[in-house]
Structure 1
């Protein structure tokens, strides 16, 4: 099998690429940096620039599936210009791939796109599964709606589409969990706000395995890419401190203070969404790290 990956050098993309190559699959990847183009027997890079509608047509030669992970990080201050980049980095890149497939003979049989759990509204009472139709009206909810619309257009080419609504990815290689570990390790850790807000998360290995599982099983539609056991911010903070053998004696950081520091982006720390991976469970996907204890045991050495 040959797979084309966008965002292949990111946290998820790198893990997934390693997994595919280990099982002797071929990986093509797109990059905006000519310096990052490498070519081996089963790993080949191609240049693209979605802002300028440029792409190397050879990237889809012999490709069976496309995994679209490219998109600007949400973990930067949301200026007006950066908000536009958050949307365009996802939509323009998908549009460019769509145009390429539309005009170029190809054998692509599956389009798999990253998506986000930000599409679900904040709630202390709702439990969100894939059939949930409520849409968050905040900026991030808008981003995910546009993101998924750009993926759905591939259905017009009779290509099955899968959208993985991904929770916070926990890994020892980077991401949100490491940022939470740092202050706790330095004895200045604390929760955020009331600490009651529910966080839906997934271990890096599980999200990479889930993408691979989706390709192998030709699974279509929406899939909540989250662990089956979500956790509150306070419970997570306590669990990390327990693994690090560090005390927690500081009061929780109030929301107004984080808004002062981070601006609108502060909502990432206070989102409250209980999300369940119903489809993944129905498809018999096996999570390696279904609980936070198992994930922390693997990540915190």
Structure 2
């Protein structure tokens, strides 16, 4: 298929493009600027509501990964608006352009986040049928997914992948978390009792591949390994694999809140998610356990 990827130069987009190319698909990237790439590049300007219409005309499937990094800057009012708009307005631009030319697709596969259930710590294991949280991230995901659901009006199969923390040594949250651990100062954050959901980059890319190729997939899916540990267990495991000490003194919540403001909630809160729906599709994870995932990324290289 001809597959158009928004956010194609990001962490997931780069690796997904490569595997799609290896599988014989034709990959194109939708970017803010024309750039050197191994793939065809189309341009768009979300703020000005402009897009190269050929990007829509020539695509069989869209993978929507575009969106400002939620952990890049503190959540000022402007930053929160950027996080929302970069996801929703970009999806609206794709949909409205396709609607204008009466274009349908075989599928649209969009990123979403397990943060859709809200930044809460509880013993409840969230399923895809649970309601969205009423906090900032819950509201972002609700609007984000609604903007993607519009594509059903174009007779297009819609898949939304609610992603947990992506483990990859080339970037993302793990590269930030692992720095103090490598320096020998690993410790739990806040209470340490909040759960951390995670997924190895290779497993996530393979879920995207399945979502594109398997016509039986539709709707929302939680994307996480089954080994969902508390923050204390998560940090201890990484320290153990890297043969680094683990300190019994937790980083106080107020320290993180003073550094990151409201954004600290994504570090200080977290619950488990149910993954039975993605498993029911026949998908098999390569990395089920945190220890083997960290060893693959940082030891067996």
Contact 1:5 1:67 in 2 (8 A): yes
Partner residue of 1:282? 280
Q: Given that residues 186 and 236 in structure 2 are in contact (C-alpha distance below 8 angstroms), is that contact kept between their aligned partners in structure 1?
A: no
What are the Cα deviations for residues 83-121 of structure 1, in whole angstroms up to 9, with x where unaligned? 110110001100100011111254512111111111113
Does structure 2 conserve the Cα–Cα contact (< 8 Å) formed by 1:116 and 1:165? yes
What SS does the aligned partner of 1:124 have? coil
> Does the CA contact (< 8 Å) of 1:63 and 1:107 recur in 2?
no
> Are residues 1:152 and 2:133 paired?
no
Of residues 162-171 and 222-231 in structure 1, the stretch that sits farther from structure 2 once superposed is 222-231
Could you tell me whether the CA contact under 8 Å between 1:3 and 1:26 is conserved in 2? yes
State the partner residue of 2:88.
91
Q: TM (normalized to structure 2)? A: 0.95
Give the Cα separation in 1 of the matches to 2:196 and 2:185.
21
Q: What CA deviation, in whole Å up to 9, does each residue of 1:120-159 have, x standing for no partner?
A: 1324221112222x32111111111110110111111121
1:28 — aligned with what? Answer: 28
Segment drifting more, 108-117 vs 57-66:
57-66
Secondary structure of the equivalent of 2:47?
Answer: helix
Work out whether residues 129 and 224 of structure 1, in 8 Å CA contact, stay in contact via their aligned partners in 2: yes
Report what 1:162 is aligned to: 159
Is it true that 1:229 corresponds to 2:230 in the alignment?
A: no
Aligned equivalent of 1:59, options 44, 55, 62: 55
Q: Post-superposition shift, 1:292?
A: 0.5
Q: Residue 48 in 1 paired to residue 30 in 2?
A: no
C-alpha contact (below 8 Å) 2:121/2:195 kept by paired residues: no
TM-score (norm. length: structure 1): 0.95
Size of the aligned set, in residue pairs, is 296
Q: Does 1:72 align with 2:58?
A: no
Q: RMSD in angstroms over aligned alpha carbons? A: 1.3
- Residue 190 of structure 1, CA deviation: 1.2
Are 1:130 and 1:278, in contact at CA under 8 Å, matched by a contact in 2? no
* Unaligned runs of at least 5 residues, structure 2: none
- 1:62–1:106 CA contact under 8 A, matched in 2: no
